């Protein structure tokens, strides 16, 4: 069993007006085999947490720690984090002109494992995963995400997830822009990757609809850069009924008091 542990994490960014704190003391522990959903309104810090775990240089860690099985993640480069078993499915997957999907996938797998996968087995695995995700085989020869629809980009993120088999997957609003059919296909891919309890999942979302397919054991509500409430799946159901108004109402007096 592996553990990803975040302790009292404070993160800021540089703006034209100066330094702005985004995360204000986030603590979270995820173990392989667990699914944690992070929910909250826009601007609450959910995507900042995802990017910080992945190592985006824009986000400055002021204090706190992130460790993976006791190893300091913050001391790792982005590629070292990937090789250690961290995976980020991006909210807005980028296009990579000139790099085909097939070359990208095999090169990335080789970098993660330290050796190239056996070609015959790898080709079989890629074809099987593409079929399950209903990705046209012709996409293997297209440039990464170039000209892809939003749903196609998200399915290719999950294709990577299934093939790379990370210890922990951070899914940053993977459900955004998906129709009902695509949402189900993507969710099934995540569930396949979780089979056997070898992967932990941090699922970031605004809505509960993806939680009908990917069942979390833990739900964390983010408001104003902090965890405002934690619970089980029933908390997501409550959010579906009530929204985030009560959390936002509680956050306003706190902000006013700080000012």
pLDDT digits (tens, 9 = 90+) for 76-128: 999 999 999 999 998 888 899 999 999 999 999 999 999 999 988 999 999 99
At 28, is the secondary structure helix, strand, or coil?
A: strand
Sketch out the chain's domains with CATH numbers.
3-248 (3.40.50.300)
Asked if residues 176 and 169 have their Cβ atoms less than 8 Å apart, the reply is: no
- pLDDT at position 250 is 66
DSSP state letters, 151-191:
HHHHHHHHHHHHHH--SEEEEESTTTT--HHHHHHHHHHHH
The candidate with the shortest Cα–Cα distance to 101, out of 130, 73, 128, is 130
The Cα–Cα gap between 59 and 51 comes to 7
Confidence of residue 176 (pLDDT cuts 50, 70, 90): confident
The Cα–Cα gap between 112 and 129 comes to 18
Least confident piece of the model among 58-62, 132-136, 228-232, 254-258: 254-258
252 pLDDT exceeds 70?
no
């Amino acid at each position: 069993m592996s553990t990803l542990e975040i302790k009292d994490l404070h993160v800021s960014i540089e703006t034209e007006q100066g330094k702005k704190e985004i995360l204000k003391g986030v603590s979270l522990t995820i173990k392989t085999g667990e699914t944690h959903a992070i929910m909250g309104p826009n601007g609450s810090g959910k995507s900042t947490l995802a990017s910080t775990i992945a190592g985006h240089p824009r986000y400055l860690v002021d204090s706190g720690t992130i460790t993976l099985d006791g190893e300091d993640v913050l001391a790792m480069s982005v590629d070292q984090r990937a090789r250690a078993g961290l995976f980020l499915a991006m909210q807005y997957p980028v296009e990579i002109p000139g790099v085909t999907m097939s070359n990208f996938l095999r090169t990335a797998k080789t970098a993660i494992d330290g050796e190239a996968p056996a070609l015959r087995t790898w080709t079989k695995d890629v074809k099987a995963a593409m079929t399950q995700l209903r990705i046209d085989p012709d996409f293997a020869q297209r440039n990464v995400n170039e000209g892809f629809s939003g749903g196609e980009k998200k399915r290719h993120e999950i294709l990577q997830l299934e093939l790379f088999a990370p210890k922990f997957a951070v899914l940053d609003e993977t459900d955004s822009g998906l129709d009902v059919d695509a949402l189900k296909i993507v969710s099934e891919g995540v569930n396949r990757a979780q089979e056997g309890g070898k992967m932990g999942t941090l699922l970031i979302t605004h809505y509960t609809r993806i939680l009908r397919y990917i069942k979390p054991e833990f739900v964390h509500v983010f408001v104003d850069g902090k965890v405002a409430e934690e619970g089980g799946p029933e908390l997501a159901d409550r959010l579906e009924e009530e929204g985030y108004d009560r959390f936002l109402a509680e956050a306003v007096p706190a902000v006013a008091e700080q000012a």
